Amino acid sequence: MRFWFLGSALALGACSGGGAIPAARPAGHVPVPGGPVPASVSAIRGQTANALLAQFGKPLLDVSEGTARKLQFAGPICVLDAYLYPPHKGRGEPAVTYIDTRQRDGSPIDQASCLAALGAQRK
């Protein structure tokens, strides 16, 4: 019975519009935000621990296991886990090879959004 009512309401609503499409109008001025550009996901990969510390501040966790290292940065919106591994040739500093992001409650979040949020809190 509900479906019949909903279908009738939609059909009647479609008929009552008058059919005229308003003319397009130009958009007003939209300012481009200034300031530093938030880190992109691809820019984080390959960074060293010192670069991450400069960008996000002191990590919530700094865990080492063998030659691997995990730095965890947390803000009011999300958590970033950055995993650093030494280069395959064995020379040079460990660098970020994998990142994981999540909301504070564990729900998924877009990685770029999390990086932008963490970078914004640092300002």
Question: What are the start-end ranges of the E strands in the chain?
Answer: 61-65, 68-74, 78-85, 95-103
C-beta of residue 53 within 8 angstroms of C-beta of residue 91: no
pLDDT band at residue 116 using 50, 70 and 90 as cut-offs? very high
Q: Torsion angle of alpha carbons 77, 51, 112, 40, nearest 10°?
A: 160
Q: Pick from 35, 62, 31: which is nearest to 119 by CA?
A: 35
C-beta of residue 100 within 8 angstroms of C-beta of residue 108: no
Domain ranges of the chain: 39-123
pTM > 0.85? no
Average pLDDT, the chain: 80
**Predicted pLDDT of residue 38:** 47
Please say whether the structural domain 39-123 has been given the CATH code 3.30.1450: yes
